[in-house]
Amino acid sequence: MGDDNKAKDIMAYLAPSNASVFDHLSEVLTNVAISNPENPVESFHKISREVLENSLRWTDEPAPVKQDNSKQVECQNLFRVQKAEADPATSISKASKVGTDTYVPDIGAETEMLNWTGLSVGGVNATRIMLSIRQLAAVHPEFKSVRFFGKILGKQADYYVCEAEVTACDEAPPKGLIPKHPEKRNFEKAQQHNRFKYYVCHSPGAPWTALPNLRYYQLLAVPNIKRLFTGNLNAPMATFPPFPGETEAEYLRAKIAHIGERTVMSPAGFFTEVPADPEAKRKYHSIAPSPEWAPPEDLSGYAAEAWPTSAWARHYPQVPDADEFGEDFVPDETGKWPDIDPEAWPIRPLTDEEDGPLWIARQCSHQLKAKAPVCLISRQYPGAVVVLQGKKFVNFYIGFGNQENDKMYTPTFQENLVMPPVCADVIYKVHREPTVERDADGNITATIPPEVKPRYPLEGWLHFNDEQADLRDKMYVEWEELKKKEAEEKAAAEAAAAEGA
């Protein structure tokens, strides 16, 4: 018995798998006894292989593949409804007293309208975006309206952009500055744009991230910059001309304002201007839908063969003009500064010369043109469209955020760019220790800095001139010698012909 156990241990040691050599040989010999081959020695290897193949199995199972279920979880969270808080004493849910009057458009219906233009995010993504925007509106009841602005493409990730309109800017102006201080005007001249709050996310249903407020200097600098977005809001901004911002989030906010100012349009007469009125507690100019506007029965006028500029208008805040404070803009005797009018929010009509070539207008159906949707396609910003159908219209943008033009782009030279001084004294400066003078006791009495002349050019160096032919190009020298030789031969031939005559 001891020898049998020892043999089993040795065979088990020789087999690294779970099946031992002893068990394998036992099964092979059993098959040999059952099949009773004519030549068992020659058939041994064949039977051993058949037994091994029949008992072959995976000894080490691979590790399970980890699945990324983050998008499924985000989609499930879209259908969750926040429950009301319960009273800790009675455990009864309290009714929510805070209601929201935020207007959220039907993004599904807008997606069907955008299908006429060929640009869309898809039906499933549109549903996710609509649910996500509704959750955002429920968290922020101070919003007047929330809409889906569009999608900006990036190198590593894309930005889904949501636009929320607020009654006033959520940031306080800087204090302790005079009214015409550049920093204060930098904030105040962008207040109309900051009445729109923008949120971005990388996928439909992901949490929204708020973009910082805009500054006037950023709005002026962004048209001169062409740059692809990385998809990382914290990416540093290194551009030329320089952008007055540190991260891509600030650049994205300025680029959205620039795109909106150029591409957001509405039917003429849909919006009306509402002037500021301090008595009615309206500090700023604004716009509002006109109750008198009604769509015409025939929509073909919005997409006539000639550019219908009179049928459309821009209603997005424009870029304010630079300030021009005169010499009389000084405080009075009491120290009070003159009042500065708030920035206007004008509704700008389109012009044939400037805006006509920048858009393509067409109807989406050749049948029943009076009721067919009308779409505008931007040539200046590829991916920007406007669709009008009945009383509804939608603005949408999808693209890289850069302006399209057929001209060669050359960055503008900045006036404050200073080139470093370059001279031989700076490049070839030799460091030598200063000369130290000491008295009889060894104390330092004076330190004399050394006078080091530039190393180059050295004395005796030759410079190119007409007399120094050795510094000329070799081919040029050979060509001159050949020309001189031909002239001498020609002169000799002429002299010989003259003597013969």
Mean pLDDT, consecutive 10-residue segments, the chain of 501 residues? Answer: 56 52 78 79 80 66 67 71 53 48 86 86 87 89 91 93 86 82 87 92 89 92 91 90 92 94 90 80 82 76 58 88 80 81 83 70 76 85 89 92 74 56 47 77 80 54 49 68 90 87 67
Residue 49: strand, helix, or coil: helix
**Residue at 279 is within a domain:** yes
Claim to verify: residue 220 and residue 142 sit in the same structural domain: yes
In-domain check, residue 475: no
- How many domains would you assign to the chain? 2
Q: Are residues 218 and 286 in the same domain?
A: yes
pLDDT in tens, 81-115: 555 455 555 545 454 444 467 888 888 888 888 88
The pLDDT of residue 422:
46
Each residue's pLDDT tens digit, 177-201? 888 888 888 888 888 899 999 999 9
Domain shared by 37 and 114, yes or no? no
pLDDT of residue 409: 61
The H helix count followed by the E strand count for the chain is 11, 15
pLDDT tens-digit readout, 403-413: 887 666 666 66
Within-domain flag for 468? no
Q: Tell me: the pLDDT tens digits for 201-249?
A: 998 888 899 999 999 999 999 998 989 999 999 999 988 888 999 999 9
Q: Which residues contact 163 (CB under 8 A, 6 or more apart)?
A: 146, 147, 148, 149, 196, 197, 198
In a domain, residue 422? The reply is no
Domain residues for the domain of 20 are 12-48
Handedness of CA 190, 193, 194, 199 (dihedral sign): negative
How many CB atoms sit inside 10 A of residue 252's CB?
23
Does a structural domain hold residue 405?
no
**Is residue 309 in some structural domain?**
yes
The verdict on residue 148 lying in a domain is: yes
Output the CA angle 333-338-339, nearest 5 degrees: 150
C-alpha to C-alpha distance for 387 and 303, rounded to whole angstroms:
11
39 and 116 share one domain: no
Q: What is the pLDDT of residue 428?
A: 46
Mean pLDDT of the chain: 78
H/E stretch holding 102 reads: none
What is the sign of the dihedral through the CA atoms of 347, 309, 350 and 371? Answer: positive
Indicate whether 491 belongs to any domain.
no
The residue whose two tokens read 């219209």 is 393
| Same domain as 387, residue 279 | yes
Domain check: are 263 and 394 in the same one? Answer: yes
35 plus 178 within the same structural domain: no
- Residue 380 contacts residue 358 (beta carbons within 8 Å): yes
Residues 262 and 117 both lie in one domain: yes
Residues 127 and 40 placed together within one structural domain of the fold:
no
- Distances from the Cα of 483 to the Cα of 12, 466, 475, 495, angstroms: 98, 17, 12, 18
